[in-house]
A and B are shown apart, each in its own frame.
Chain A
Amino acid sequence: MNKQLFENKKSLINNIYLLLGDTTGKYLITILIISIFLLPILHIYIPEESFFHISSYTISLLGKYLCFALLALSLDLIWGYTGILSLGHGAFFGLGGYMMGMHLMREIGDRGVYGNSELPDFMVFLNWEELPWFWYGFDSFLFASLMVILVPGLLAFIFSALAFGSRVTGVYFSIITQALVFTLMLAFFQNDFGFGGNNGLTDFKDILGKDISSKETRGALYSCSAIMLILGYLICRIIISSKIGNILVGIRDRENRMRFLGYNTTVFKIIIFTISAILAGIAGALYVPQVGIINPGEFSPIKSIEIVVWVALGGRGFLYGAIIGAIVVNVLKSYLTIISPEIWIIFLGLIFILVTIYLPNGLTDLRRIIKRNYGRK
């Protein structure tokens, strides 16, 4: 008994060793850990005139990038390592966001425009008599957090169990994930669906009793995002470096051979897809309080495809690639859309084409090319 435990411990140590073996990931995690403490301190305690001060706009923006990075990470887990391309990961991100949004709506209480403590503003506006059943329980933060995990997870589980169970693969799976996210968008745009329709959920006031726009809250939200990203990264790393990871890669490279070898690939795919959806949902839940709104636009198919670009640019199948890709693309997006939205769209299109044709492993390929050229000199 004791021996077994000891062996388990040993394999755990082994795992940690594997985690540390990934150099770029190590640097990335280190930077993130430092930023957990540093950024909020710079934001809260350094006076605004100072060069080192970080404005609340910047810290929310950075927090947003980290949420996107977590989302990209979740996509890399299934696309990069298992070969399942989801064109609808925005569905899980959006659902996680809506769950958090619903809690924040309930937190508003009677401070809304209509001063109704029973119903959110948009329901009063639509002349609703009482709270729909699916809003019950969202007063509690704990319940909402549970839902953030359960709802996207359950949807992903059912959806993938159906799809993978009947061996829907490859392009077909991608297209039905797109149909899924498109369906959700149409549904959430409906006013009588009960989630605020077109306008979505917004005008949040508090989170856990603290003012949502205060410096402390923004700092804390940033730290939470960074911590969740690190945790997400570690979870993915552990999965990838375990035996399961090898099976997943096997599925990616030749699923039928894995099947012939006796592995029930369907179960692995369902599990990994569900985990990925849960990570995406958590990213959405952290994203909403930082941007202050969630609306059906998050479910638009193009947003989901953008996630794929982040991963493709960063290099799929490297985990840290997804994080770097998400941050690089979004920083570019922030700058270029200020210069001219047209340029941004052309640029995005070009990234798609050039990366898929010339850099199948994204920026990591670029690094290799540069290294090779320097090597010759």
Chain B
Amino acid sequence: MYIILVFTNLNYLLADNNNLRNHILELDTKDFNKKIVSIEKISEIKTDLSLLTLKSILNGKLFIRKSDKKILLVEVIDRKYNAYDFFDKKELGIEKKRKLKKIKINNKIRNILNNKIAILQLSSGTTRQKTEAIFDIIKEGNQKTLIIINELLLKEKDKELLLNLNLAKNSIIARYGNEIEKIEAVKSLSGSTNNDIVNILKSIVNNKIISENIKLEATKSLEASLGNIKFNNILKTTFFGLSLGSVLLLAAIGLAITFGVVGVINMAHGELIMIGAYSAYVVQQIIPNNISASIIISIPVAFVFTGFVGVLIERLIVKNLYGRPLETLLATFGLSLILQQTVRSIFSPLNKTVYSPEWMSGITRIGGLELTNNRIVIIIFTLIVFLTVVYILKKTLFGLQMRAVTQNRKMASAMGINTKKIDMFTFAFGAGVAGVAGVALSQITNVGPNLGQNYIIDSFMVVVFGGVGNLFGTFIGAFGLGLGNKLLEPYVGAIVSKIFILLFIIIFIQFRPKGLFSLKGRMVDE
């Protein structure tokens, strides 16, 4: 019984494939109308292969071998034609161009293909593919697609998809329905933030033939939509600002510890971030099969390794220069050059890619907003790192001793704290946090020897702006500067907004030389 079922099923599939082959061969004609007919037929065979066929025609990858009418998928790499069998995906090696025939299409067919692909994806595929397909339909929909949408509306259970399907339905009715239908449809489109729907509404408002009633409704809906889009844009800017702020905060926390607590200017801080990012790369090379695990493992690895580098820096260089901040600045700058060059020699000057785990890639839709997952993860991760650092400083013995040394070194020493040891551990701790920041940054930027350089000036600005020796100030400083930068960006452009922010800080420092939140005292500082 079972065997027969499987067998008939297989037979059915084979029949489908045979049909598909015939239709594809029919495409080998110069008459575009005939091609359209074949494409219609192909799209009626609702299998994965027919979807692939349509897609590869659209991308210009579908070829027919002239000698034996074999259907091939061809990847063109460096002008070489790497052919695969269309049905069983076997590699057939490099083919010569003149022995192949490409299935050519024009713009009209391209539109049809897009539409058909969208419809096929609607009937199968994941929720995300379906959503994408619906948005394609909104762009190119007509009465025929309306029928399909109506069918789908009956079958579909996912709420979000239903919502989008209704949107697509109304967008089509708004263009092709009768007057009463149109008014209803236009009303229901009100407030949508989809770009294509806004365009449809605009075209209705500007159309001279359409009756005033519809226009009136369309204008209302359009205003609501534009209002929503404006609101969404503000949310989006805020999100980008928070995202930039979290990156700045990550880069600056380590510096806030070494600069704020120990009073050491570490110009090699950026390079510690870079080393952290390279740790993530190395860990991923060791466990290449599990990207998720490699990223999570690389966090403690980066912390320990950069922390160790921090100890070395403290012992070999910084220790000799305590109390001479300008000299420390120069020596650590020299170190940053050496570290950069070392990494360049070991890993080559080319950028390395650290792959992102699946849960970090992709997009989350909240209302009309599209937020990239990696940015969301980094915002959350930054908050975790920040809170951990605050916890360690405020609630642990190490943190207590660290603060004691910062406030009054001699007194702390008299109370039995080994201040030299605390200095070393604090420096190592700051370095370790920089390494962790590097792992996070490896997920959003390229990992290269110059990675750190891009963050060092920004980090200093954040720490100085927020107030040295105050982690809360660093927090406010980072998010303040991040938001400010992104709020300015739409008006003046990315670089100019950065210039404005830098100028703002330079002027700000003149009025509050110790930053936003400074330790207050009556001492004349030396």
Contacts and interface: CB of A to CB of B under 8 A. Distances in A.
A31 to B, nearest CB: 29
Interface string A183-200: 100110110000000000
Contacts of A137: none
A357 B320 contact: yes
Most buried by A among B329, B342, B461: B329
Given A349-B341, A356-B327, A179 B334 contact: no
A166 to B, nearest CB: 5
A145 interface: no
Interface in A317-357: 342, 345-346, 348-353, 356-357
Interface stretch (B124-132, B136-144, B500-508): B500-508
B513 A166 contact: yes
Interface string A158-169: 010011011111
Interface in B313-345: 317, 320-321, 325-331, 333-338, 340-342, 344-345
Interface stretch (B350-358, B476-484, B491-499): B491-499
B379 to A, nearest CB: 26
Nearest to B342: A346
Contacts of B345: 342
B316 to A, nearest CB: 9
Contacts of A143: none
B341 A172 contact: no
Contact of B334 (A85, A166, A349): A349
B509 A172 contact: yes
Given A356-B327, A357-B320, A346 B502 contact: no
Contacts of A175: 460-461, 464
B251 interface: no
Contact of A309 (B326, B330, B457): B330
A176 interface: yes
A174 interface: yes
A187 B457 CA distance: 16
A256 interface: yes
B511 interface: yes
Most buried by A among B335, B344, B464, B509: B509
Contact of A346 (B317, B328, B338, B509): B338
Contacts of B329: 85, 87, 171, 174
A163 B510 contact: yes
B524 interface: yes
B513 A172 contact: yes
B499 A352 contact: no
B471 interface: no
A44 interface: no
A308 B267 CA distance: 14
Contacts of A162: 507, 510
A227 interface: no
Given A172-B509, A353-B335, A179 B457 contact: yes
Contacts of A180: 506
Contacts of B337: 345-346, 348-349, 352
Contacts of B496: 190
B526 interface: yes
Contacts of B340: 345
User: Which applies to chain A's interface (DSSP): helix, strand, loop or mixed?
Assistant: helix
Contacts of A301: 457
Nearest to A255: B526
A312 B324 CA distance: 14
A182 B330 contact: no
A357 B331 contact: yes
A350 B334 CA distance: 6
Interface string A207-232: 00000000000000000000000000
A290 B20 CA distance: 73
B321 A356 contact: yes
Contact of B317 (A87, A167, A171, A353): A353
Contact of A179 (B344, B461, B526): B461
Most buried by A among B333, B338, B495, B502: B333
B27 interface: no
A352 B345 CA distance: 20
B526 A256 contact: yes
Interface in B290-325: 317, 320-321, 325
B273 interface: no
A99 B19 CA distance: 76
Contact of A85 (B326, B335, B511): B326
Contact of A345 (B341, B503, B506, B524): B341
A47 interface: no
B331 A353 contact: yes
Interface in A124-177: 159, 162-163, 165-172, 174-176
A84 to B, nearest CB: 10
A284 B341 CA distance: 29
B341 A346 contact: yes
A183 B499 CA distance: 6
B330 A356 contact: yes
A350 B338 contact: yes
Most buried by B among A159, A180, A183: A183
A360 interface: yes
Contact of B502 (A165, A183, A256, A353): A183
A190 B495 contact: yes
Given A168-B509, A186-B495, A352-B331, A174 B326 contact: yes
B499 A187 contact: yes
A349 B513 contact: no
A187 B506 CA distance: 15
Contacts of B341: 342, 345-346, 349
B451 to A, nearest CB: 15
B265 interface: yes
Contacts of B320: 357
A345 B335 CA distance: 10
Given A178-B457, A186-B495, A168 B510 contact: yes
Top 8 A-B pairs ranked by shortest CB distance?
A352-B334, A349-B337, A349-B338, A349-B334, A356-B331, A183-B502, A162-B510, A353-B334
15 contacts: A162-B507, A163-B509, A168-B513, A176-B464, A176-B506, A179-B457, A179-B461, A254-B526, A256-B526, A349-B334, A349-B336, A349-B337, A349-B338, A349-B341, A352-B333
Given A167-B513, A356-B321, 18 more contacts: A85-B329, A166-B511, A171-B326, A171-B329, A175-B460, A178-B460, A179-B461, A179-B502, A179-B506, A186-B502, A345-B338, A345-B340, A345-B341, A346-B342, A353-B317, A353-B335, A356-B331, A357-B331
